[in-house]
């Protein structure tokens, strides 16, 4: 999709520190990390948010979540714990409207989130 910064990362039109890629998804380092580990995992197909994901995309969503676990393991935070965040819409604070899962870890998290 034109003018989508994450589509540009997928198409290698702008640089990113990509740590994983396959046919369906890309994972890369967040440029403004909120924790020692902060990775974004996105589908290669453009969907603005969870609200725009069709009902038949269960497999894609499951793939992302299980890959987040794998990346947590790769980053050495799997056993200590980590957080997966999926901001959806204005009230959540979503800023980039290409659906993305945040994988955060490497420090003690607090609850409730801000
Ligand atoms: P959200 O508030 O859930 O929409 O999160 C957007 C995230 O994308 C933020 O954590 C930003 O730091 C991150 N971000 C924005 N632009 C880039 C970029 N070009 N490369 C990597 N991360 C980015
Ligand atoms: Zn996009």
Please report, rounded to a whole number, the percentage of residues in the chain having pLDDT higher than 90: 97
Taking 90 as the threshold, does the pLDDT of residue 77 lie above it? yes
**CATH architecture type of domain 5-105:** 2-Layer Sandwich (3.30)
Q: Which residues, other chains included, contact 42 with Cβ-Cβ below 8 Å and sequence gap of 6+?
A: 6, 9, 10, 25, 26, 27, 98, 99, 100, 101
User: How far apart are alpha carbons 86 and 88 in whole angstroms?
Assistant: 6
**CB contact at 8 A, 84 and 103:** yes
The tokens for 21 are 């890629």
Q: Give the pLDDT confidence score for residue 20 in this predicted structure.
A: 98
Q: Is 46 a catalytic residue?
A: no
Give the number of whichever ligand sits closest to the CA of residue 90: 1
Indicate the top mutation candidate among 8, 16, 29, 31 to test ligand 1's pocket, ranked by most ligand atoms within 8 A of CB: 31
Mean pLDDT of 57-74: 98
Q: How far is the CA of 11 from the centre of ligand 1 (A)?
A: 16
pLDDT greater than 90 at residue 114: no
CA 67, CA 20: separation in Å to the nearest integer?
9
Domain boundaries, the chain: 5-105
Burial state string for 53-69 with b = 16 or more CB within 10 A and e = fewer than 16: beeebeebeebbeebbe
**In the predicted model, what is the mean pLDDT of residues 99-108?**
98
Average pLDDT over the chain, rounded to whole? Answer: 97
pLDDT at site 1: 78
Contact (Cβ atoms closer than 8 angstroms) between residue 1 and residue 44: no
């Amino acid at each position: 999709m034109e003018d989508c910064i994450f589509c540009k990362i997928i198409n290698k039109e702008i640089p990113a520190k990509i740590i994983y890629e396959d046919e369906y998804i890309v994972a890369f380092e967040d440029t403004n990390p909120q924790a020692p580990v902060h990775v974004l995992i996105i589908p290669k197909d453009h969907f603005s948010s969870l609200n725009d994901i069709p009902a038949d995309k269960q497999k894609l969503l499951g793939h992302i979540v299980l890959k987040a676990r794998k990346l947590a393991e790769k980053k050495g935070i799997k056993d200590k714990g980590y957080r997966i965040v999926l901001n959806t819409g204005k009230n959540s604070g979503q800023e980039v409207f290409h659906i993305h899962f945040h994988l955060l870890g490497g420090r003690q998290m607090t609850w409730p989130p801000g």
